[in-house]
Structure 1
Amino acid sequence: MLSFHHLNQTLQLLPEKAIYWEDQKALLIADAHFGKVTHFRKAGMAIPEQAAHRNLNTLQQLITEYKPEKVLFLGDLFHSEMNTEWLLFKELLLEFPNVEFTLIQGNHDILHKHSYDNTTMRVVRELNLEPYNFTHEPEEHPSLYNLSGHLHPGVRMQRKGRQSMRLPCFYFGKKNGVLPAFGEFTGLHIISPKKDDHIFIISGKVVQQAL
């Protein structure tokens, strides 16, 4: 965990690829892509069944540890059409009746709107909580700082012997910030940061600022 003081707010950047926003007691998660593992397994890909539960277990652990009042999903919560992972996710919501869950809908959130009716989660296109404007895809807001997902940001780190490795990161530019993808098997989009951007690299259980 690394504390980032941003716009007079305290953001805890977590190695689980989420943010705990202390001032609002809110957990921020982008691109969970629940359902993706089960979708791939149905298509015949050799992915271990337990992988379908790891992201849900991590979410459960984060809520239990940080006790947020709000959980904001910044889009692409569920990757595919209905499958068993959605039922597991609905059960998880019921474990935390005092938490306010909000989905800022993303391009992969293709479930029918009735799928959300029997959950405790509200679904919106965007959300404003000063000083932030939350969307799925990066946008520019006239007065608020935009936080989003969608891009799955990552950086390429050079190693000895001309080797390189790709690692997920948190990105904070002048007007926009982008969270890493929370889910597994989501891929990375390698970014090219500008001079005054803040980049925080996630390596295992460590979050550190790029020099």
Structure 2
Amino acid sequence: MPVIRGTCEARWAGQHLLLLPERALYWPGGGVLFVADLHLGKAATFRALGQPVPGGTTAENLSRLAVLLARHAVRRLVLLGDFLHAAQARTPALMAALDAWRERHADLACTLVRGNHDSRAGDPPAALGFDIVEEPWLIGPFACCHHPQRHATHFVLAGHLHPACSLHGRGRDSVRLPCFVQEEGQAILPAFGEFTGGLYMEPLPGRRFYGIGGDTVWALPGG
């Protein structure tokens, strides 16, 4: 199949995968889109605590997700934890946006692997029709987790860390980028959600970075 411009190909667990600049992972062989750490309602949670942060992030997240579902032959969406940010995120506006999004994608199978924020925020409403599971949840050769870890038989796909890496130019010039991180037996996805921040990850032997800049993903040297 043709590779969409800006994506980066990888072969993990013997499978052909596409690393997408929208900070998601697509498995063509299984028709599965993996995303981690949407943290829907995070901005609303901050506003509920009196912090003057901008709105609109939920609509942006769901819009980007809808574009990916339309672009790829996705039969199942797997959410690698932290779907909702907190209990305060469950505002009427956010719930209405989720209901509308689900109606437009009624035939899509959706699986949520519970993350640490999901434990505090509570499961999505049953009306959304999500399969709610604990980590590790196995599909094909992959163990779907929220927390990075090792699995005895399957290649782990995880989130939680919101990984970021640095590119260094001449002198002191540097830029920090969200990234995919591959290590032995696992890969860590960048946070899909807007307004989520990132954790810088040190270069280590056997660790490979796939940086995301603008509308492109590329494999960085080293690893």
Matches within 5 A, 1:5-154: 5-81=11-87, 82-83=90-91, 84-109=93-118, 110-113=120-123, 115-126=124-135, 127-154=137-164
**What stretches of structure 1 of length at least 5 have no aligned partner?**
none
Q: Distance in 2 between matches of 1:35 and 1:46?
A: 14
1:181 to 184, 187, 191: 191
Look up the SS of the partner of 1:92 in the other structure. helix
Query: Which shows bigger deviation, 57-66 or 82-91?
Result: 82-91
8 Å Cα contact 2:12/2:155 also seen in 1 = no
Query: Which shows bigger deviation, 135-144 or 41-50?
Result: 41-50
TM-score, length basis structure 1: 0.93
Q: C-alpha deviations, 1:131-188, integer Å up to 9, x for none?
A: 1101100121111111100011111222334132211110110112100000112111
**What stretches of structure 2 of length at least 5 have no aligned partner?**
1-6
Distance 1:64 1:20, change over 3 A: same
Deviation at 1:62, TM superposition (A): 0.9
Q: Distance in 1 between matches of 2:86 and 2:121?
A: 8
Q: Which residue of 2 aligns with 1:204?
A: 214
Q: Distance in 2 between matches of 1:192 and 1:48?
A: 31
Deviation at 1:13, TM superposition (A): 0.4
TM-score, length basis structure 2: 0.88
8 Å Cα contact 1:31/1:77 also seen in 2 = yes
Look up the SS of the partner of 2:64 in the other structure. helix
8 Å Cα contact 2:13/2:142 also seen in 1 = no
8 Å Cα contact 2:80/2:158 also seen in 1 = yes
Q: Which residue of 1 aligns with 2:168?
A: 158
When the two chains are superposed, the root-mean-square deviation of aligned CA atoms in Å is 1.6
Deviation at 1:3, TM superposition (A): 1.4
- Percentage of pairs with the same residue: 31
Q: Tell me the number of residue pairs that the alignment of Structure 1 and Structure 2 aligns.
A: 210
